[in-house]
């Protein structure tokens, strides 16, 4: 029996959830135009690359997220889906277009412009460095200061009450 390679074209999954594609998270970008651009990519065989949008893919800190799935031939050659984050510049869309035209995952090397944008569904949001503001000692000091301030206020109120009682005869 002759095994044939499924020659389906590459596919694109474009995140359009709570953050990706929103002006709130990624301002200054024409998300609609970018979506239309991604939806009009053809491969070297002049086949339109199927694109679908997805709800949140779980790595919002990487908005806008685009996943490039390999073609059938690309998958047979070892290509796997490539997750790309921070796809907000038009040049990056051009790079995706060029890459798919060349064959995409498994068949063509990742364009230089996309190298720093490779991510994964398991990407972890980088933690903010613990500055002095977040250190344990600083938290303890703030708590102590707050308590002292509260006591001071209570004492002042007590004194005022006392003074109000005493001075009421005038
Ligand atoms: S909205 Fe795109 S990863 Fe959450």
Q: Where are the domains positioned within the chain?
A: 11-119, 132-169
Query: Is the CB–ligand 1 distance for residue 82 below 6 Å?
Result: no
CATH of 11-119, one of 3.90.870, 3.40.30, 3.40.50, 3.30.460: 3.40.30
pTM of this structure: 0.74
Please check the confidence at residue 130 and state whether its pLDDT lies above 70.
Answer: no
**54 CA: nearest ligand 1 atom:** 2
Query: Is the CB–ligand 1 distance for residue 19 below 6 Å?
Result: yes
Query: Is the CB–ligand 1 distance for residue 60 below 6 Å?
Result: yes
Write the pLDDT tens digit of every residue in 6-61: 689 999 999 999 999 999 999 999 999 999 999 999 999 999 999 999 999 999 99
Q: What is the pLDDT of residue 79?
A: 97
Short-list 36, 33, 41, 100, CA closest to 68: 100
Q: What is the pLDDT of residue 170?
A: 42
Measure 67 CA to ligand 1 centroid, in angstroms: 12
Quick one: CA torsion of 29, 127, 82, 12, rounded to 10 degrees? -40
């Amino acid at each position: 029996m002759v095994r044939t390679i499924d020659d389906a074209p590459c596919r694109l999954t474009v995140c359009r959830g709570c953050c990706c594609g929103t002006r709130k998270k990624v301002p200054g970008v024409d998300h609609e135009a970018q979506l239309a651009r991604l939806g009009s990519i053809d491969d070297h065989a002049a086949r339109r690359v199927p694109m679908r949008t997805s709800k949140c893919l779980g790595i919002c800190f990487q908005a806008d997220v685009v996943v490039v799935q390999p073609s059938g031939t690309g998958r047979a050659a070892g290509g796997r889906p490539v997750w790309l984050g921070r796809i907000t510049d038009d040049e990056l869309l051009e790079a995706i277009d060029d890459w798919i035209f060349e064959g995409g995952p498994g068949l063509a090397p990742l364009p230089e412009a996309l190298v720093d944008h490779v991510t994964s569904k398991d990407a972890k949001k980088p933690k903010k460095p613990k500055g002095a503001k977040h250190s344990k000692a600083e938290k303890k000091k703030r708590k102590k200061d707050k308590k002292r301030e509260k006591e001071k206020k209570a004492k002042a109120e007590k004194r005022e009450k006392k003074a109000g009682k005493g001075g009421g005869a005038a």
